[in-house]
């Protein structure tokens, strides 16, 4: 079980309460409907206290999303290293990684609720919010996958000419169907269904990039 998202050590208690409340309210109500009054009530502080820490609602969303994105990316990086650092069975390693990334990640529920808000309200969100999330979350993980696929190609275990493209294909083939069917984790799928989707996607990936293909 992964550790839940926490704020950085030394952060004042009121700031921690505001950040936790903001993630909960934004995830539950979305960006447009969420209000600073509602976040203040959830945190048990005054609205003035929030403005002592954050300039406006946009800055508050950007801050809490960025912090949780970093935490999730660090966790996903650990998963990539665990399953794809010279695995004895490459297929099994890819399947295990796909399962770990496609399944709801315990401790990060509020973050993925924010991700669903991004997809639902992308046209209404500040460009900096969506851009920062994409750069520091999905694109960072894709770059890490690309690095790992490069190493596996150099070791003769994959045949990858374009690592970035291969990383995108792995994400699409092994995880995207599970994301879509679960509405990005809002309605978790049975474990057996996730396993089948990931295994099928990995099989397709290895037909494209397997060294013996």
pLDDT interval class at 10 (50, 70, 90): very low
Q: Note whether 26 and 61 are within 8 A (CB).
A: yes
Residue 5 pLDDT > 50? no
- pLDDT, residue 106, reads 84
- pLDDT, residue 206, reads 98
pLDDT interval class at 9 (50, 70, 90): very low
Instruction: Give the chain's radius of gyration (CA, Å).
Output: 19
Q: Which residues are within 8 A (CB) of 115 and not within 5 positions of it... i.e. 6 or more apart?
A: 133, 184, 185
Concatenated DSSP letters for 113-160? HHHHHHHHHGGGS-HHHHHHHHHHTHHHHHHHHHHHHHHHHHTTSB--
130-188: per-residue pLDDT in tens?
999 999 999 999 999 999 999 999 999 999 999 999 999 999 999 999 999 998 888 88
- pLDDT, residue 11, reads 59
Residue among 115, 136, 128, 126 nearest 26 (CA) = 115
DSSP 87: -
Fold held by 69-209: Tetracycline Repressor; domain 2 (1.10.357)
- pLDDT, residue 104, reads 79
DSSP 78: H
Q: Where are the domains of the chain?
A: 69-209
Q: How many other CB atoms sit within 10 Å of the CB of residue 156?
A: 8
65-124: per-residue pLDDT in tens?
999 999 999 999 999 999 999 999 999 999 999 999 998 788 899 999 999 999 999 999
């Amino acid at each position: 079980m992964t550790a839940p998202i926490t704020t950085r050590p030394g952060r004042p208690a009121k700031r921690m309460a505001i950040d936790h409340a903001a993630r909960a309210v934004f995830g539950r109500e979305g960006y447009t409907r969420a209000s600073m009054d509602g976040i203040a009530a959830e945190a048990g502080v005054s609205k003035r206290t929030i403005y002592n820490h954050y300039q406006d609602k946009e800055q508050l969303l950007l801050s809490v999303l960025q912090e949780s994105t970093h935490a999730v990316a660090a966790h996903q990086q650990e998963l990539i290293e665990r399953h794809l650092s010279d695995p004895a069975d490459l297929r099994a390693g890819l399947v295990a990684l796909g399962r770990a990334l496609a399944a709801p990640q315990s401790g990060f529920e509020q973050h993925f609720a924010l991700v669903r808000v991004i997809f639902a309200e992308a046209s209404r969100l500040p460009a900096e919010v969506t851009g920062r999330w994409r750069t520091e979350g999905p694109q960072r993980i894709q770059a890490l996958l690309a690095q790992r696929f490069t190493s596996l190609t150099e070791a003769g275990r994959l045949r990858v000419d374009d690592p970035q493209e291969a990383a995108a294909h792995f994400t699409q083939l092994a995880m995207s169907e599970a994301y879509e069917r679960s509405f990005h984790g809002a309605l978790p799928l049975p474990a057996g269904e996730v396993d089948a989707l990931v295994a099928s996607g990995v099989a397709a990936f290895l037909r494209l990039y397997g060294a013996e293909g």
